[in-house]
Amino acid sequence: MAGHSKWANIQHRKGRQDAVRSKLFAKLGKEITVAAKMGDPDPDKNPRLRLAVKEARSNSVPKDVIDRAIKRSQAGEGDDYEEIRYEGYGPNGVAIIVEAMTDNRNRTASNVRSTFTKYGGNLGETGSVGFMFDRKGEIVYPAEVGDGDTVLMAAIEAGAEDVESSEDGHMIWCVDTDLNDVSNALETELGESEATRLVWKPTTTTEMDLEAMEKLMKLIEALEDDDDVQRVTTNFEASDEVLDQL
């Protein structure tokens, strides 16, 4: 999965450099508000909220923005938000999962469907591509935190399932329900992570050439530009040469 991991790092850097901060903050704030609404407003007592706050901090969201998002949950905001997952296919038949949070299901479904169509994809039924992914916890550390063996031993001790280390950093995966515990244990050993989140990890991949990757990038960017879309995941595989040309 070297191509996929490298793409994750490219996207991470690109997001830091190019994303419109207000849009990114709004999406992270929405997750915080909903997480706090569904459980306790104290992150120490609410694992989902703790993870949402951690992800917000890793994206440089100011503390006052995080605090306001939590307060909104106690003021009744977030009552109408519904979490929806869309599944479909992109260029070369690559599988795509779109996670959305919306207060208007019809609006979001229409926008997602039209975006798939406009950029050469096809929106499918729920479950049409989900079987090609496993729900996992993902924890990302920079390369500077230590060598592969050091991170691997820390991950094993923390209860993680798998580790992939490269010059770009370390990606650690665990059972989705263990993410909070594993991330806490790793934080004790390695310090704060760059990212801690629930992801859809591909179990099978689709090889992409440069032309297909360029089309896929346009589709992903258009989907992510939608205010209702929280996250987009694909199962592409591409060579380092292709990724370097992007």
Delimit the domains of the chain by residue range: 2-74
Neighbouring-strand partners of residue 118: none
Q: Mapping DSSP to helix (H, G, I), strand (E, B) and coil, where does residue 95 land? A: strand
**What confidence score (pLDDT) does residue 121 get?**
94
Segments in the chain below pLDDT 70: 1-20, 77-79
pLDDT tens sequence across 107-138: 999 999 999 999 999 999 989 999 999 999 99
Cα(119)–Cα(216) distance, rounded to whole angstroms?
A: 8
Name all contacts of 187-192 with Cβ < 8 Å and 24+ positions apart: 189/154, 189/157, 189/158, 190/141, 190/145, 190/146, 190/151, 190/154, 191/145, 192/54
Under the phi-then-psi rule, with left for phi > 0, alpha for psi from -120 to 50, and beta for the rest, what region is 135? beta
CATH class of this structure's domain 2-74: mainly alpha
Cα(162)–Cα(104) distance, rounded to whole angstroms?
A: 38
Q: Which residue has the tokens 């820390």?
A: 154
Helix or strand (DSSP H, E) at 89 = strand 82-89
Helix or strand (DSSP H, E) at 233 = strand 229-234
**What confidence score (pLDDT) does residue 1 get?**
35
Contacts of 215 (CB under 8 A, 6+ apart): 90, 91, 119, 120
Contacts of 70 (CB under 8 A, 6+ apart): 32, 33, 36, 41, 49
Cα(230)–Cα(208) distance, rounded to whole angstroms?
A: 24
Alpha helices in the chain (DSSP H): 2-18, 21-38, 47-58, 63-74, 105-118, 148-158, 179-190, 210-224, 240-245
Q: Mapping DSSP to helix (H, G, I), strand (E, B) and coil, where does residue 30 land? A: helix
Predicted TM-score (pTM) of this structure: 0.83
Contacts of 20 (CB under 8 A, 6+ apart): none
Cα(234)–Cα(89) distance, rounded to whole angstroms?
A: 9
